[in-house]
């Protein structure tokens, strides 16, 4: 097998991989709309159903103080049930006033009905470069032409033998608008509710300046005559929608769904299908639960080192709702006449890797590069450090390409020398083709004798190609999944390296560089191979039309460097 055939096979394999990936993305159906059951209606799923549907079960008192295995066993039994919320079964959340909250990074809306965040806009992250003043809406609760798009937070307290404030409780509040004042570092928003047995609760949101971390606290003022015992929980509820405007962006092969981290099992994805087929139920000490999507992540973090139950569920409805959350297993106790405080921390923001690494252990793993993470992570590390010096992601990609090319120079030089020698042998190979005609066996035998005599390795050019394909795919995932490159401009018309070139200039230039490379390399003897090789620049150009501009910039730069290297070797090799 000559070098051209080997290169052709590897190239075709690469194209098939990319086309197969695209085919999977375009042919994978969206999450099915499971028909509503007789017990669960569309209205119930929106937040007014029975408490047992979407409120965690009450752990057995003392479960958190048992050994890990015992705690998990007791929690799995579902000892105790969440109390029904009087007068709320089968009702939808009233469209009453919302509490408007503005900080330097958020514009949030809190619904007093349940005390959850049902709208969260990220002020420092526009929806796209064409709408720089429209912040990206991370959380929402609205009806669209495609059905409800819901992504909200839910949290509360659970316990036995009394009523507790949960995400269906109607809270009182002081103001309908809050603003982080200039010079202030924190902003607190308080909601209030008093139980029939005179336990007074304050649900407090604490927002911090220049931070995507939100504290959710429950202040318990026990004015009853009996000790108060309770557990805290926090969860996310969302429908399966892709939060992007652009049609092509909606088809990106990016994971959207649940994720958890535990010290033992590390990072795990909990997909929507997992929530439906095998709901999560696990006892964990430390860790976090999250909802992950392209560029952004939301997560609940427990406090302290006590055991927590990580769980997931799917609420069946015309448009299914998927939930993932956690609840404490160690009870908090407040004696009569005393006050107590328990709560959780929440993160809702961009998947900036340095920020995630500082937030919690393993949280940076939500930036998922797939199986090529061992290659992608170092590439991003180098790219980020280059950007720290240059300050422009486009030029950083170009410099990274030069570094990669330099690293592969010994291998690629061997490849190009082999191709240069092969090109010098083209007249002799063409003579063999004319001599033996269609007798491929004799022609190949004669070719191998020439290769052996001239000390040419026909497979010498394959290794660099095999090595560079994983690097290319790894960089593809870096450019596709790193929020740092989202809406990052380069020069002139390229104002967002994470999306396609709007005028297709880079892909067309890349196609021309592939033609130039072919002119420098030996032409295949076989007519069929020759026609396929001539078609490859066209195929690759169309394939790259919708790739991120940053990736095409990498490939274009790599081709230009390869042309220069091949030209130099062709001129100097003997």
The 10s digit of each residue's pLDDT in 44-55 is 333 333 334 578
* Beta carbons of 257 and 215 less than 8 angstroms apart: no
For residue 296, being part of any structural domain is answered with: yes
Q: What integer pLDDT is reported at residue 521 of this predicted model? A: 64
Q: What is the DSSP pairing of strand 307-315 with strand 281-285?
A: antiparallel
Q: Please tell me the pTM assigned to this model.
A: 0.76
Question: Do 91 and 21 fall into the same domain?
Answer: no
In a domain, 541, yes or no: yes
Same-domain pairing of 409 and 338: no
For the chain, the domain total comes to 2
Q: What is the band of 180 on the pLDDT scale with cuts at 50, 70, 90?
A: very high
* Last residue in a domain, options 366, 400, 429: 366
Tokens 């949280």 locate to: 363
Per-residue pLDDT reduced to its tens digit, 322-340? 999 999 999 999 999 999 9
Position with higher pLDDT, 237 vs 539:
237
Q: Report the percentage of the chain scoring pLDDT > 70.
A: 70
Q: Does the structure show a pLDDT above 80 at 465?
A: no
**Domain stops at, among 322, 339, 366:** 366
Query: Is residue 134 a part of any domain in this protein?
Result: yes
Q: For the CA atoms of the chain, what is the radius of gyration?
A: 30
Do 260 and 290 belong to one domain?
yes
User: Each residue of 102-133: b (16+ CB within 10 Å) or e?
Assistant: bbebbebbbbbbbbbbbbbbbeebbbbeeeee
Query: Are 118 and 129 spatial neighbours (Cβ–Cβ below 8 Å)?
Result: no
Q: Which one is predicted more confidently, 176 or 546? A: 176
CA–CA gap between residue 307 and residue 288 (Å, rounded):
12
Same domain, residue pair 168 and 277: yes
Give 502-544 pLDDT, tens digit per residue.
888 888 898 888 888 777 665 555 556 666 667 777 877 887 8
Residue 349 has pLDDT above 80, yes or no: yes
220 neighbors 201 (Cβ within 8 angstroms): yes
Helices first, then strands: H and E counts in the chain:
16, 20
- Report residue 167's pLDDT band, with 50, 70 and 90 as the boundaries: very high
Structure tokens at 253: 């092969």
pLDDT of res. 570? 65
Determine the 3-state secondary structure of 348 from DSSP. strand
User: Do 342 and 467 belong together in one domain?
Assistant: no
Please tell me whether residues 432 and 461 are part of one structural domain: yes
Show the domain range for 411: 3-25+374-572
Whether residues 469 and 557 fall in one domain: yes
308 with 419, same domain: the answer is no
Residue with the bigger pLDDT between 296 and 245: it is 296
Which DSSP category does 293 fall into?
A: -
* End-of-domain residue from the set 347, 366, 385: 366
What is the pLDDT at residue 481? 81
Biggest alpha carbon–alpha carbon distance for the chain: 106
Question: Residue 153 has what DSSP assignment?
Answer: E
Least trusted range by pLDDT, from 104-113, 128-137, 155-164, 203-212:
128-137
Residues 343 and 405 in one domain: no
Domain-located, residue 30: no
Q: Is residue 88 part of a domain?
A: yes
Q: Are residues 8 and 132 in the same domain?
A: no
Choose between 402 and 532: higher pLDDT.
402
Q: The domain spanning residue 71 has which CATH number?
A: 2.70.98.90
pLDDT at 10: 52
**pLDDT beyond 70 at 256:** yes
Quick check: is 177 in a domain? yes
H-helix or E-strand spanning residue 322: strand 321-328
Alpha-carbon dihedral angle through residues 409, 415, 418, 419, given to the nearest 10 degrees: -110
Residue 191 predicted with pLDDT over 90: yes
Q: Does residue 445 form part of some domain?
A: yes
Fill in the DSSP letter of residue 170. B
| Residues 343 and 400 occupy one common structural domain | no
Which of 32-41, 209-218, 491-500, 508-517 has the highest average model confidence (pLDDT)? 209-218
Looking at the DSSP assignment, which residues form a beta bridge with residue 238?
151, 322
Q: Are 317 and 42 in contact (CB under 8 A)?
A: yes
Do 404 and 353 sit in the same domain of this protein? no
* Residue corresponding to tokens 């990498």: 554
Where helices occur in 268-342 by DSSP H, the ranges are 272-277
Task: Give me the chain's average pLDDT, please.
Answer: 77
Does 188 reside within a domain? yes
Per-residue pLDDT averaged across 183-195, rounded? 95
């Amino acid at each position: 097998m000559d070098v051209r055939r080997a290169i052709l096979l590897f190239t075709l394999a690469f194209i098939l991989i990319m086309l197969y990936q695209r085919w999977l993305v375009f042919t994978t159906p969206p999450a099915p709309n499971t028909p509503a059951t007789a017990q669960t209606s569309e209205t119930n799923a929106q937040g007014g159903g029975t408490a047992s549907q979407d409120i965690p079960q009450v752990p057995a008192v003392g479960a958190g103080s048992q050994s890990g295995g015992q705690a998990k066993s007791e929690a799995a039994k579902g000892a105790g049930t969440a109390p029904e919320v009087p007068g709320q079964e089968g009702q939808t959340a009233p469209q009453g006033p919302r509490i408007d909250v503005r900080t330097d990074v958020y514009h949030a809306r809190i619904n007093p009905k349940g005390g959850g965040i049902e709208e969260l806009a990220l002020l420092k992250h526009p929806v796209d470069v064409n709408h720089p003043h429209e912040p990206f809406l991370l959380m929402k609760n609205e009806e669209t032409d495609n059905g409800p798009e819901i992504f909200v937070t839910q949290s509360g307290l659970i316990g036995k033998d009394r009523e507790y404030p949960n995400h269906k409780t109607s809270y009182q509040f002081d103001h309908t608008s809050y603003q982080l004042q200039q010079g202030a570092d924190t902003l607190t928003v308080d909601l209030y509710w008093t139980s029939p047995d005179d336990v007074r609760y304050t649900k407090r949101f604490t927002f911090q300046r220049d931070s995507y971390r939100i504290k959710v606290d429950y202040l318990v003022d026990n004015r009853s005559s009996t000790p108060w015992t309770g557990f805290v929980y926090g969860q996310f509820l969302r429908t399966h929608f892709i939060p992007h405007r652009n049609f092509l962006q909606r088809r990106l092969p990016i994971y959207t769904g649940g994720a958890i981290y535990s010290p033992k099992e590390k990072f795990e994805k909990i997909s929507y299908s997992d929530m439906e087929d095998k709901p999560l139920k696990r006892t964990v000490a430390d860790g976090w639960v999250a909802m992950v999507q392209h560029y952004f992540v939301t997560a609940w973090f427990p406090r302290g080192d006590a055991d927590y139950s990580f769980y997931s569920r799917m609420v069946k409805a015309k448009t299914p709702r998927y939930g993932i959350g956690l609840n404490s297993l160690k009870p908090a106790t407040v004696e009569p006449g005393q006050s107590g405080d328990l709560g959780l921390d929440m993160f809702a923001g961009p998947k900036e890797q340095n920020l995630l690494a500082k937030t919690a252990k393993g949280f940076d793993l939500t930036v998922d590069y797939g199986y090529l993470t061992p290659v992608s992570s170092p590439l991003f590390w180098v790219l980020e450090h280059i950007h720290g010096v240059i300050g422009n992601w486009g030029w950083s990609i170009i410099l990274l390409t030069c570094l990669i090319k330099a690293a592969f120079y010994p291998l690629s030089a061997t490849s190009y020398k082999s191709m240069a020698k092969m090109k010098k042998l083209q007249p002799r190979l063409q003579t063999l083709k004319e001599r033996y005609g269609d007798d491929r066996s004799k022609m190949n035998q004669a070719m191998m004798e020439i290769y052996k005599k001239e000390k040419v390795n026909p497979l010498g050019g394959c290794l660099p190609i095999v090595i560079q394909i994983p690097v290319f795919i790894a960089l593809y995932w870096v450019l596709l999944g790193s929020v740092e490159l989202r809406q990052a401009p380069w020069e002139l018309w390229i104002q967002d390296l994470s999306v396609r070139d709007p005028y297709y200039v880079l892909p067309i230039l890349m196609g021309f560089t592939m033609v130039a490379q072919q002119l420098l390399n030996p032409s295949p003897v076989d007519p069929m191979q020759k026609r396929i090789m001539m078609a490859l620049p066209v195929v690759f150009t169309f394939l790259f039309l919708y790739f991120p501009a940053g990736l095409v910039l990498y490939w274009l730069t790599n081709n230009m460097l390869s042309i220069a290297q091949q030209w130099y070797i062709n001129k100097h090799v003997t």
